[in-house]
């Protein structure tokens, strides 16, 4: 079975389309910073 080469541009396009369908909005810098502080405080990792 051959693996096909997929360009980074194609991957980015597919991801952006799927995110727009799901209503994804990037988190603000403040929210990202607060999440990092909470993760550091409680020594946990979350995918955000």
C-alpha R_g of the chain: 16
More confident residue, 2 or 37: 37
pLDDT for 27: 74
pLDDT for 33: 87
> How many Cβ atoms from other residues are within 10 Å of residue 24's Cβ?
11
Inter-residue contact 14 to 8 (CB < 8 Å): no
pLDDT for 46: 67
Answer yes or no: is pLDDT of 1 > 60.
no
Q: pLDDT tens digits for 10-45?
A: 888 888 888 787 777 777 888 888 888 888 888 887
Distance CA 15, CA 23 (A): 12
pTM of the model: 0.36
Q: Please tell me the chain's helix, strand, coil percentages from 3-state DSSP, rounded to the nearest 5.
A: 60, 0, 40
């Amino acid at each position: 079975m051959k693996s096909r080469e997929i360009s980074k541009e194609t991957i980015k396009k597919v991801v952006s389309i799927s995110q727009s369908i799901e209503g994804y909005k990037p988190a603000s810098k403040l929210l990202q910073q607060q999440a990092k502080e909470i993760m550091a405080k409680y020594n946990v990792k979350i995918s955000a």
